[in-house]
Structure 1
Amino acid sequence: MKRILLLECSPHRQNACGSHLARRLIATRWPEAELLERDLVGEPLPPLGADYATALTGNAAFDAPGFACSETLIAELEACDCLIIVTPMHNFTVPAALKLWIDYVLRIHRSFAATPQGKVGLLQDRPTLVLVSAGGFYQGPRARQPDFLTAYLRHVLSTLGITEVAFVHLQGLAHGRDAIQAALDDAIPQLQRTTRFYFDSATEIAP
């Protein structure tokens, strides 16, 4: 593993449970990897404006000023060998900070093509891990709310051309300290199974 792009999407930033797990994973599995961190909350992206919309609908050149932010984000994604997304679930789906990143990166003629058969990704596939944190439960026997995040984000990534995607879920984090520890304890074997299958090392992650 040479380059890892880490997207931080939580208001808690590096204090989020998912962030701690992601950094433990990176330090254990790929200590020599080059890590590029994109803090979408601490350094929020500018809102989509008329300049971007005009460039998009006018089929402007990739180096048009309106595409500057989009090009930077797509270039970061293209340069990485592995993508790790640390995100909370907000109101059943992705938070606004991650949605804005998606809107910049998912761009017709640049990261996907529209064909008679549908949208086709133009980016190279790469191992991708999504660590999802939620205050409630949305999977398993304790689920009390729908999950629109997983299917949506998987579809977004596949539209870019990224299909080697694994999800690890940390649920029930709003139910107290014991629930947080239980979620972390459950996430470790998820990570061990997932990263052994999707990534390039079988090193165990310390509990």
Structure 2
Amino acid sequence: MATDDPASSLAAVRATIARAAALADRKPDAVTLIAISKTKAAADITPLLTAGQRVFGENRVQEAYDKWPALRDAFPHSVLHLVGQLQSNKAEDAVALFDAIHSVDRPSLVTALARAMERQDRRPDCFLQVNIGDEAQKGGCPIAALPALLTVAQDADLPIAGLMAVPPAETEAAPYFALLAKLARDHGLGGLSMGMSGDYETAVMLGATHVRIGSALFGARA
């Protein structure tokens, strides 16, 4: 739960990650905390940067361009992840700005990203997004299509860091996290981007390497 003091909220989330990691016999530094700063102004983000948080996540390319160049001038060691859906025509901009992209979910996007990376000589980490709950309204490739998508990504020499998923809302997340972890193991992938403010402890215990935390750091969204 976020407090009025960003440093306290950050410390509380980090302590929870450490506790969950210990229960799973994992090291806390095996888990990257991504502070989800979508819809938040630079003035809301700066206190967390000042408190030592360096990895942030945004949902939209244009929103990130509006605020992060100035923030990075002030905090040059900050790291930016794109966690929202990405249109292929925004691939060039995404490769230029982001250090990791969590929503690679179709061959056309793989192609666009590979071309952008070659042109820019810049290679952000990529996570293949899986529609783990088979939900029509959500992004991500179907589970059955994952092997083919991974092959396309590997053939394009995309830097694949692992898998990402968002379990269905209002359900127990653990089975979906466990399934994503199994899919990653089956395909020889080490990264697992899973877990948000309401379920990141469970995600860490089931192997998450990246957790995406918004409201527990920034408070409830408007």
- Structure number with the higher helix fraction is 2
Q: Tell me the TM-score normalised to structure 1 length.
A: 0.33
Q: Tell me the TM-score normalised to structure 2 length.
A: 0.32
